[in-house]
């Protein structure tokens, strides 16, 4: 692991780091905020997964999370959204919703993406091992959150690993890639045409198939341009009600899909995570 930069912030250290990933076969960059803490103390970890076109930098620079993490003693980890670099396959037409910046937190099985697009394994296995080794992280106390495509990632990873993540939340998540154009394009390209193989990457399908977490928190802006065509939170409401999965969905009047929305409610999400990650 190489250090790209460190900065003092809110009584802690905001760092950006890079390493060569064995899962993606590329160099990966991620950011970590570590609050000041007593020598030998280990701190709970909150993961943040970003959305389409984003890198670690979007939330690191615009998420306004550090004061809340410092207050609660939370380590905040923000990985990239996809592998990058020379030779990494991309959308043939350079579209924003597939390829670079749009890894969808899956392990791709279709060529030419299978070699590098292994963001599920990277986020679930490889990067946590690195965080546990290099930072004062209490891996028995982890939460996960995300935005849009990263909200999809947070919900699906959290549901598949309920024994690991004690808190799961999302901002404007893609709740059902099986039922929206972004998801249909991405999962067809990465996983193939067999939609039964998509179910592990669809939060609604996972809940329908029996996955459970103690509760879910989702914030969604009513002025979000993607609300009706891509995000469809009503599908999550329906399946959670049918399957008795606790869900708090907060429709935030007038808010859009941007980091103005995310940063407004970031503190409340971190308060919610902190309450569930207490020792």
- Of the residues 21, 31, 148, 169, only one is catalytic, namely 148
Query: Which DSSP string corresponds to 27-48?
Result: EEEEEEEEE---TT--EEEEEE
- E strand or H helix at 143: strand 137-147
What pLDDT is attached to residue 279?
A: 64
Any catalytic annotation for residue 176? no
Domain ranges, residue 20: 2-278
Residue 216 and residue 150: Cα distance in Å, rounded?
15
- Which residue of the set 56, 257, 269, 273 is catalytic? 257
Instruction: Give the SS3 label for residue 19.
Output: strand
Sheet holding 216-221, edge to edge: 2-9, 12-20, 27-35, 75-79, 43-49, 137-147, 165-171, 216-221, 247-252
Q: In a structure prediction context, what are the per-residue pLDDT tens digits for the chain, which is 279 residues long? A: 999 999 999 999 999 999 999 999 999 999 999 999 999 999 999 999 999 999 999 999 999 999 999 999 999 999 999 999 999 999 989 999 999 999 999 999 999 999 999 999 999 999 999 999 999 999 999 999 999 999 999 999 999 999 999 999 999 999 999 999 999 999 999 999 999 999 999 999 999 999 999 999 999 999 999 999 999 999 999 999 999 999 999 999 999 999 999 999 999 999 999 999 996
DSSP 166: E
> What pTM, to 2 d.p., does this model score?
0.97
- Assess whether 148 carries a catalytic annotation: yes
Based on the residue annotation, tell me whether 224 is a catalytic residue of this protein. yes
Give the CATH number, domain containing residue 206. Answer: 3.40.50.1820
Domain count, the chain: 1
């Amino acid at each position: 692991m190489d250090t790209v930069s460190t900065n003092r912030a809110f009584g802690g250290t905001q760092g950006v780091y890079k390493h060569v990933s064995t899962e993606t076969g590329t160099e990966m960059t991620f950011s970590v905020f570590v609050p000041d803490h007593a020598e030998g103390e280990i701190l709970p970890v909150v993961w943040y997964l970003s959305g389409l076109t984003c890198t670690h930098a979007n939330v690191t620079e615009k998420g306004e999370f550090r004061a809340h993490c410092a207050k609660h003693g939370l380590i905040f980890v923000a990985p990239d959204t996809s592998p990058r670099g020379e030779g990494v396959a991309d959308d043939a037409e350079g579209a924003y919703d597939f390829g670079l910046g749009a890894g969808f937190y899956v392990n791709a099985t279709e060529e030419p993406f299978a070699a590098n697009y292994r963001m599920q394994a990277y986020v679930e296995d490889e990067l946590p091992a690195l965080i546990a080794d290099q930072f004062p992280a209490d891996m028995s106390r982890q939460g996960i959150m995300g935005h849009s495509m990263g909200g999809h990632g947070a919900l699906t990873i959290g549901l598949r690993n309920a024994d690991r993540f004690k808190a799961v939340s999302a901002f404007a998540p893609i709740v059902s890639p099986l039922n929206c154009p972004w998801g249909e394009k991405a999962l067809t390209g990465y996983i193939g045409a067999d939609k039964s193989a998509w179910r592990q990457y669809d939060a609604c399908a996972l809940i329908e198939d029996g996955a459970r977490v103690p509760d879910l928190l989702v914030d969604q802006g009513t002025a979000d341009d993607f609300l009706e065509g891509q995000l469809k939170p009503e599908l999550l409401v329906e399946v959670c009600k049918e399957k008795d999965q606790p869900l708090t969905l907060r429709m935030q009047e007038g808010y859009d899909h941007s980091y103005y929305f995310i940063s407004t409610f970031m503190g409340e999400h971190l308060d919610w995570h902190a309450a569930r990650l207490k020792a």
